[in-house]
Amino acid sequence: MNIFKTKSFYKFSRNPLSVFGLIIVVTVLLLAIFAPFITPFPEHVGPFTDFANKSKPPDSTYIFGTDKIGRDIFTRCIYGYRISLILGVVVLSIAVPIGVTMGLCAGYIGKKTELVLMRITDIFLAIPALVLALSIIGLLDRPNLLYTMIAVSMAWWPWYTRLIYNITRSIKTEGYIAAAEVMGASKFHIMFKEILPNCLPSLLTKITLDLGFVILVGSSLSFLGLGAQPPTPDLGTMVAKGASLLPDTWWFSLFPGFAILIVVLGFNLVGDGLKDMFDVDV
Amino acid sequence: MSATQYFLRRTFISIIVFFGASIVIFCLARLIPGDPARIALGPFASKEMVEQYRELLHLNESIIIQYKIFITNLFQGDLGISTYTKRPVLIDIQSYFPATFELVLVAVTLMIIIGMPLGILSGKFKDTFVDHISRVFSLLGVVTPSFLWAIILMLIFAFWMPIFPVSERFDEALDPPKLVTGLLLIDSLLEGNFNFFKDALAHLFLPGLAIAMPAIGNVARLTRTNLSDIYDKQYIEFAKSYSFSEFKIATKYALKPASIPTVTIIGLDFALMLGNAFLVETVFVWPGMAKYGVEVILAKDLNGIVATALIITTFYLVINMVVDFVVLILNPRISLKD
């Protein structure tokens, strides 16, 4: 089956906003992957200094300007995308399996399992995500990228439990589940081979939307100084560095800030397109 | 189920969730690898000092006993001593929390008085310029990090067009009113100090708006969909056939049911706004929970971190209870059924 000829893809491609989002996402991905070949000053990523060109406003050589020690902000933004995308992927690869498994168990097995698992989920949902992530980082040793990833994952899985739980509850009374039960299929088989495939459209949509939001929360944490540590080019850290120097060197903060905005916007638009395409509610 | 029973049940559930959250936060604080005493005192503290500190925090007891001590102290208003400020955590929180509370209240107000009219307008003028603007606005609101909103608003309205003050809660040149509630707006009104009231309000506006930005879009989008759903209902048709004025139909028949989902979303968005307050406060040098929170986190102050997380969670739980009761008043049918 050619995916580009399906009716759903037609629906997706007819929405200019979704296509725009897809273009953003693909561009950002390509930029991040080929960063060493695209960026004008790849050597500016690390602890490089060039005091002759420090704090230069945007011009034709340095299109986003340079920072306090003369590094090209455009180059650092593109490399910052690498960190952001890795963060998004790692966080979701931890949070999604945990959330999905718990949601399937709570929804399908029911009874005491449901009660215990869903109460735990509710309790985690009662603590605002950013505050939970902040406290976890605070309690771990020195802040670094790995801890940020762990902390955000811990705050993110309950949403997947909720989502999968609701879908499981609504489809577990379907005929094909009963048929599988009668044939003696194991609980594991029913949960992961019968129910999970039916959750995939919602799951895929939510993952796409969340990739953007995880990047947003990750950059918020590094904005507070609790993410990747310098000289790693992290977008949130770069915004924070500039924020205390407003308004003179406004380009320190604004360009990395807009870089975050654009990638979140891209994933959000694609996610919205998928939502319409699969006709699901997440 | 009567309203009183509903009230009691809802309170009971919140209390259970509160205990659950306190267990989660407490366990995180104690089970995370590394010795909290060693982390708090730093690598140069002597063995005896660490041991003494462990004794002080009851770290040598089992975790269940530790939790028991923690929760008993909590109900006596004792959250422990902050290793960072060397003061009781409760005193610290009393001085920082009102600043954040006031800011979030202003943000909620802005979210309602900007978001709802925007939603009504775009519902009324569907698929016109106003509608497109409000949709772009709500999309941008959600995808823009709130620290970026803070920076943009600050650059435009405090530096390039100096309409609003740049940072802090009030102008140093003015005498602050006597602290009663800790909320500067109310305290200055109590004293009849209108000059100070105006100044405090001006300081609150930009950070409040930056926090409200992501939520304004949500509110506008929701109000728009709900209004258009309700205008399709038969009772509106009926009211129209009685040739009631459009204003009366809108205010008396359409807006009340349309505002229910909006009130619900306020409860949900509160978590978002409390998180965003941390970021916006940092930009505006606001002396609130965020400043305290980040400082205790960087200082590895165990009691401070646990208390900050717990206070914010409690605040969020209380707000959600209030929201549920407001929804109940707006529509007595929904919640009492189950």
pLDDT digits (tens, 9 = 90+) for B160-187: 888 888 777 777 777 777 777 777 777 7
Residue A227 within a domain: yes
Which residue of chain A has the CA closest to B275?
A: A130
Domain that holds residue B181: 98-296
CATH number for B268: 1.10.3720.10
- Residue A182 C-alpha, separation from nearest chain B C-alpha, in angstroms: 33
pLDDT digits (tens, 9 = 90+) for B275-286: 888 889 988 888
User: How many structural domains compose chain B?
Assistant: 1
Q: Which backbone phi and psi does B81 adopt, to 5 degrees?
A: -100, 135
pLDDT digits (tens, 9 = 90+) for A11-20: 788 888 889 9
Predicted confidence (pLDDT) at residue A214 exceeds the cutoff of 80: yes
Contact (CB<8Å) B297/A134 = yes
Calculate helix-pair angle for B129-143, B194-231, nearest 10 degrees: 110
Residue A255 within a domain: yes
pLDDT mean across residues, chain A: 87
CATH number for A205: 1.10.3720.10
Residues B103-131 have a mean pLDDT of 84
Residues A178-192 have a mean pLDDT of 90
Q: What integer pLDDT is reported at residue B36 of this predicted model?
A: 67
Residue A67 within a domain: yes
What is the 3 state secondary structure string of chain B?
CCHHHHHHHHHHHHHHHHHHHHHHHHHHHHHCCCCHHHHHHCCCCCHHHHHHHHHHCCCCCCHHHHHHHHHHHHHCCCCCECCCCCCEHHHHHHHHHHHHHHHHHHHHHHHHHHHHHHHHHHHHCCCCHHHHHHHHHHHHHHHCCHHHHHHHHHHHHHHHCCCCCCCCCCCCCCCCCCCCCCCHHHHHHHHCCHHHHHHHHHHHHHHHHHHHHHHHHHHHHHHHHHHHHHHCCHHHHHHHHCCCCHHHHHHHHHHHHHHHHHHHHHHHHHHHHHHHHHHHHHHCCCCCHHHHHHHHHHCCCHHHHHHHHHHHHHHHHHHHHHHHHHHHHHCHHHHHCC
Residues B99-115 have a mean pLDDT of 89
Measured between alpha carbons, how far is B62 from B51 in angstroms, rounded to an integer? 16
B189 pLDDT tier (thresholds 50, 70, 90) = confident
Query: In percent, how much of chain B has pLDDT > 90?
Result: 5
Residue B105 within a domain: yes
A165 pLDDT tier (thresholds 50, 70, 90) = very high
Q: What integer pLDDT is reported at residue B234 of this predicted model?
A: 85
B197 pLDDT tier (thresholds 50, 70, 90) = confident
Q: Which of B28, B140, B151 sits opposite A135 (nearest CB)?
A: B28
B138 or B171, higher pLDDT: B138
Q: What integer pLDDT is reported at residue B134 of this predicted model?
A: 78
Q: What integer pLDDT is reported at residue B297 of this predicted model?
A: 82
Residue B255 within a domain: yes
Residue B173 within a domain: yes
Residue A34 within a domain: yes
Interface probe, candidates A18, A131, A152, A220, chain B, greatest B C-beta count within 10 A: A131
Residue B182 within a domain: yes
Q: How many CA atoms lie within 13 A of B4 on its CB side?
A: 0
For the question of whether the overall pTM of this predicted structure is more than 0.90, the answer is no
Contact (CB<8Å) B309/A212 = no
Q: Which backbone phi and psi does B88 adopt, to 5 degrees?
A: -60, 135
Is the CB of B321 inside 8 Å of chain A's CB atoms? no
Predicted confidence (pLDDT) at residue A90 exceeds the cutoff of 80: yes
Residue B199 within a domain: yes
- For residue A72, the surrounding DSSP H or E stretch is none
Is the CB of A20 inside 8 Å of chain B's CB atoms? no
- Interfacial A residues in 248-267 facing B (CB < 8 Å): 250, 253-254, 257-258, 260-261, 264-265
Contact (CB<8Å) A126/B17 = yes
What sections of chain A are H helices per DSSP?
7-14, 16-33, 35-38, 73-109, 111-126, 129-139, 145-171, 175-182, 187-189, 196-223, 235-243, 251-278
Tokens of B192: 């009849």
Residue B286 within a domain: yes
Q: Which of B148, B160, B298 sits opposite A261 (nearest CB)?
A: B148
Residues 6+ apart with CB under 8 A from B152: A254, A257
Domain that holds residue A190: 18-278
Residues of A in contact with B321 (CB under 8 A): none
Q: What integer pLDDT is reported at residue B33 of this predicted model?
A: 65
Which residue of chain A has the CA closest to B294?
A: A224
pLDDT digits (tens, 9 = 90+) for B229-261: 888 888 888 888 888 887 888 777 877 777 787
Calculate helix-pair angle for B3-31, B63-75, nearest 10 degrees: 130
Residues A26-46 have a mean pLDDT of 87
Predicted confidence (pLDDT) at residue A258 exceeds the cutoff of 90: yes
Query: Per residue in A72-111, is it b (16+ CB within 10 Å) or e — as a string?
Result: bbbbbbbbbbbbbbebbebbbebbbebbbbbbbbbbbeee
Residues A133-143 have a mean pLDDT of 80
Residues B322-337 have a mean pLDDT of 74
Measured between alpha carbons, how far is A71 from B328 in angstroms, rounded to an integer? 57
In this structure, what DSSP letter does residue A202 have?
Answer: H
Residues A80-109 have a mean pLDDT of 94
Q: What integer pLDDT is reported at residue B327 of this predicted model?
A: 82
Contact (CB<8Å) A126/B144 = no
Residue B134 within a domain: yes
Query: In percent, how much of chain A has pLDDT > 90?
Result: 39
Residue A8 within a domain: no
Residues A94-116 have a mean pLDDT of 92
Residues of B in contact with A157 (CB under 8 A): none
Residues A207-231 have a mean pLDDT of 89
Residue B136 within a domain: yes
- Residue A185 C-alpha, separation from nearest chain B C-alpha, in angstroms: 35
Is the CB of A171 inside 8 Å of chain B's CB atoms? no
- Interfacial B residues in 30-49 facing A (CB < 8 Å): 32-34, 36, 39
Contact (CB<8Å) B139/A265 = yes
Q: What integer pLDDT is reported at residue A1 of this predicted model?
A: 53
Radius of gyration of chain B measured on its C-alpha atoms: 24
B307 or A9, higher pLDDT: B307
| Whether the Cβ atoms of residue B319 and residue B273 lie closer than 8 Å to each other | no
User: How many structural domains compose chain A?
Assistant: 1
- Interfacial A residues in 206-245 facing B (CB < 8 Å): 212, 216, 219-220, 223-226, 236, 239-240, 242-243
Predicted confidence (pLDDT) at residue A43 exceeds the cutoff of 90: no
Is the CB of A137 inside 8 Å of chain B's CB atoms? yes
A158 pLDDT tier (thresholds 50, 70, 90) = very high
Residues of B in contact with A137 (CB under 8 A): 297
Residue A7 within a domain: no
Residues of B in contact with A16 (CB under 8 A): none
B1 pLDDT tier (thresholds 50, 70, 90) = low
Give ipTM to 2 decimals: 0.87
How many angstroms from the chain centroid is the CA of residue B86?
27
Instruction: Tell me: cis bond preceding A231? Omega within 30 of 0 counts.
Output: yes
